[in-house]
Structure 1
Amino acid sequence: MQITHYGHACVLVDTGAARLLFDPGAFSSGFESLDGLDAILVTHQHFDHVDADKLRTLLRANPDAALVTDGQTAEQLDGIDARTAAPGDRLSLGGAQVAVVGSGNHAEIHRDIPLVANNGYLVDGTLLHPGDAYTPPGLDELATLLLPTGAPWLKVSEAVDYLRAVAPRTVVPIHEQTLANPAMHYRFFDDLGPAGTAMVVPDRETAVTL
């Protein structure tokens, strides 16, 4: 499996049988010219996870790609058709099997801010993009976790505890564009994460094989 990080929450996952792009949002770049996508998956409605103008450009270049979102996000994508999904659903996308996981809700930012829907996506049982939530996937073993690193809704101790709870073989930090110095957080993951977990920090827009 190859992944390419386009900054923040946007990641291209190439399983060899499917090319899946996650969260083409406003804090990410370099993905706009991609083609040959089997699916575009959006975890939730926040602008750092989906930019409608960039999404339209992607869909024009990938007319056969499925667009998968939660129901709330689909309602906000004016004029863009999307396939809606929720935790418990299982999707066949290209040659990949994607399970929709999580509690269904975004992590709490503040008690006075209403929760929005959030989908986590588990690809072929091996790679998890949790969106903006720290809900363990309930697996005995996970190969790769895309770990949200910095956001208004999290602190580094919660990120470390989630990493420990999931205990993947490989962790790839994402969702880092709100931080002035993401490497400081990566150091905590390396020092405090599970003994059996290796951390991979890809160069932006550079494919790495996991």
Structure 2
Amino acid sequence: MLGNLADLAATGLASEPTIRKWIAAQPDQAWIRKRGSNGDAYEIDIPAAIAAWQAEEARKTEEARKRAEDLRQLGLDLGVGVTAQPMAGFSIAERKQLLEEEVIATKLAEKRRELVPFVEVVGAIGDILSRFQQRQATFTARLAKKIDLTRDQLTAIERLMHDDQQQLATMMENWSNEFGDGAHDPAAALGDSALSN
């Protein structure tokens, strides 16, 4: 079905000025039968023009998705090293600018104390758990000095405390796995060292 610019705009594809600009940017296409000029109307194959528009929109969407994926990968690579493969769609200047912006944003967040290094968090938690475990090791002895308890009662208390330690160790291991590979994450060691006794 042939039509003019107004007919194509009437399909709801886009406004006439947008379509006119889009057609002007197109090289010779089979669906453009005649370009309008000086009062002469466009002659356009409407279904083919719609298909061409949709194909270009799909291409733009895919490019945007790819750029977003590349940007996400760049974020993952920050602090780890240079990306293994050059990112399609990003020039060297764009990558440099993105890295600089990320570094500035990270420094600002650290200055505002919005970011805490993961290693410091793991170290602090490990220290707390280690001290807690040391206190628990003498808990039943301290308790026995304050009140009279039978050996069975002391054993039951120690068993409950050990079960709590095991449960906390499991929680710490799950936390470690959630935030990183347990084999390379110091948090994994917390459950083993501070809570395994």
Q: State the TM-score, normalized to the length of structure 2.
A: 0.22
Instruction: Write 1 or 2 for the structure with the bigger share of strand.
Output: 1
Greater Rg by CA: 2
Q: State the TM-score, normalized to the length of structure 1.
A: 0.21
